[in-house]
Chain A
Amino acid sequence: MDTEALQQSFDEKIDKDIRIEPKDWMPADYRKTLIRQISQHAHSEIVGMLPEANWITRAPTLRRKCILIAKVQDEAGHGLYLYCAAETLNITREEMTEQLLTGKAKYSSIFNYPTLSWADMGAIGWLVDGAAIINQIPLCRTSYGPYARGMVRICKEESFHQRQGFDILLSLCRGSEAQKAMAQDALNRWWWPSLMMFGPRDADSPHTIQSMKWKIKRFTNDELRQKFVDMCAQQVEVLGLQIPDPELKWNEARGHYDFGEIHWDEFWNVVKGNGPCNKERIAARTKAHEDGEWVRRAALAYAQKQKSGIPESQSAKATIKD
């Protein structure tokens, strides 16, 4: 088949909502866009482990500790599903890791903010995971099969993440004054960065139109952001906290909440690497990768030895050069 026919058959599949699968022909830009989006998503899960893992050893009860560990572990799992989905597009995990560590690939800027109190675990669960879910549910129907299947699994597992975050905040808000103040402080710090998670305004989002056409994305940034604000504006009342936006109010005519302008300066600054923790996050990932090098090497060497069937007594380790 010539390229034109292939392109046509691809377009037809997209039109009819037939999933594209790894070995199918796809336009080079479609592949590139997917690799960028999926790997960015995977990196976000992995870097996203760090701010929360930061509080595992300090979780205030054993129950909370177990929940938090399980949650951060899920994120590792989600990163893994996504890396594997990306790998079906002919890029290796090693290449993606390299891109992350060298700053060539991006990850969600939200994880460049620090976790300063226990309440941040609540705010991250409620807001950051809440925003993520809104982003992710439409992706279960994204046009690329492995990505969509990964997202189905991820969404299924994530359903507890937002709840546990809200539950942490609820306990704090029903607790002492100090605890409530802790919760409010966390909300103050995480609210705006959470809104930024949906990305630039539609007008400033260069990839959106093409991605919508390919059905990689199913809703625009602004649509999703609005959905998120509407959801939080209602839930915050149960907590009895204040969303730090004086302009937030219900707009009867629109049927949505109006909200204030995001500080786009801050957004672009964090994207460019000037967030509070950009360097720490990449340093932590780099350290894990470098510290793990000898382990991965040894595991491979051992596997090789087992395969070649050299009796252990003769597998003189001194001769195995790394």
Chain B
Amino acid sequence: MEQPLWEVFIRSRQGLDHKHVGSLHAADAKMAIESARDVYTRRMEGVSIWVVESKHIHASNPEEAGSFFDPAEDKIYRHPTFYKLPDEVEYM
């Protein structure tokens, strides 16, 4: 009779993204949010909380990490540093 597991995301202050901070058990979403408040923001660590039941998270497969992420490696032309500018151009 275990309570479902929830993942907790916290916005530490206005202007920042919600960031995964950990998980907890709760019977429903409201309980999960309230528990997240008590468990993960006791020291003013947050201004906003998201929770999602862990079973709803889909993840990329670590064994495919190579074929998944490596192809981006040689596309260095996507980065501004790839381009040499003449010295006369100060800011671009």
CB contacts (< 8 Å) of A279 on chain B: these are none
Chain A nearest CB, measured from B44 CB (Å): 13
**In the complex, A149→B5 CA distance in Å?**
18
CA distance A297 to B53 in the complex (A): 18
Distance between Cα atoms of A308 and B28 in the complex (Å): 13
A70 to chain B, nearest CB (A): 8
Chain A hits for B11, CB < 8 A: none
Stretch at the interface among A18-26, A39-47, A106-114: A18-26
Q: Mask for B35-79, Cβ within 8 A of A = 1, else 0?
A: 000010011000000000000000101110000000000000000
| CB proximity of A120 to chain B, nearest CB, Å | 25
**A25 and B1 within 8 A (CB):** no
Of chain A, the residue at the smallest CB distance from B23 is: A84
Known A-B contacts A77-B42, A302-B28; the reply to A297 vs B1 at CB < 8 A is yes
CA–CA, A225 to B40, complex, Å? 31
Chain B residues positioned under 8 Å from A157 (CB to CB):
43
Complex CA gap A77/B39 in Å reads 6
Q: How far is the CB of A75 from chain B (nearest CB, A)?
A: 12
- A146: nearest chain-B partner, CB-CB: B22
Given contacts A80-B39, A299-B31, A303-B27, contact A92 B2 (CB under 8 A): yes
For residue A198, CB closer than 8 A to chain B, the reply is no
Of all chain B residues, the one with the shortest Cβ separation from A21 is B62
Contact residues of A between 144 and 169, Cβ < 8 Å to B: 149-150, 153, 157
A7 to B67, alpha carbons, bound, how many Å? 19
Tell me the number of A-to-B contacts counted with CB atoms below 8 Å: 49
Please, which residues of chain A bring their CB within 8 A of the CB of B3? 296, 299-300
Q: Report chain A residues within 8 Å CB of B5.
A: 84, 87
A81 to chain B, nearest CB (A): 6
Report if A94 contacts B (CB, 8 A). Answer: yes
A-chain residues with CB within 8 Å of residue B27 when the two chains form the complex: 296, 299-300, 302-303
Q: A25–B63 contact, CB under 8 A?
A: yes
Q: Does A265 contact B (CB under 8 A)?
A: no
Residue A293 lies at the interface, judged by CB distance under 8 Å to chain B: yes
Residues of B within 8 A of A178 (CB): none
Q: Output the least CB separation between A289 and chain B (Å).
A: 11
Chain A residues, Cβ within 8 Å of B28: 299, 302-303, 306
A150 to B20, CA, bound (A): 12
* Contact of A320 with B by CB under 8 A: no
- Please give the distance in Å from B34's CB to the nearest CB on chain A: 12
Kindly state the separation between the CA atoms of A297 and B2 in the bound complex, as whole angstroms: 9
Please, which residues of chain B bring their CB within 8 A of the CB of A299? 3, 27-28, 31
A1 close to chain B: CB less than 8 A = yes
CB distance from A217 to the nearest CB of B (A): 23
Bound state CA distance, A196 and B27, in angstroms?
A: 39
| Residues 273 to 319 of chain A near chain B (Cβ within 8 Å) | 293, 296-297, 299-300, 302-303, 306
Which residues of B are in contact with A by a Cβ distance under 8 Å?
A: 1-3, 5, 21-25, 27-28, 31, 39, 42-43, 59, 61-63
Other A-B pairs, 5, CB within 8 Å; known A24-B62, A87-B5, A157-B43: A25-B62, A87-B23, A299-B31, A302-B28, A306-B28
**A residues engaging B (CB < 8 A)?**
1, 21, 23-25, 73-74, 77, 80-81, 84, 87, 92-94, 149-150, 153, 157, 293, 296-297, 299-300, 302-303, 306
Instruction: Give the 10 A-B CB pairs with smallest separation, nearest first.
Output: A299-B27, A303-B28, A303-B27, A84-B23, A94-B2, A23-B62, A24-B62, A300-B27, A84-B22, A297-B1
Q: List 30 A-B contacts (CB under 8 A).
A: A1-B63, A21-B62, A23-B59, A23-B62, A25-B62, A25-B63, A77-B39, A80-B39, A81-B22, A84-B5, A84-B22, A84-B23, A84-B24, A87-B23, A92-B2, A93-B2, A93-B25, A149-B22, A150-B22, A153-B22, A157-B43, A296-B3, A296-B27, A299-B3, A299-B27, A299-B31, A300-B1, A302-B27, A303-B28, A306-B28
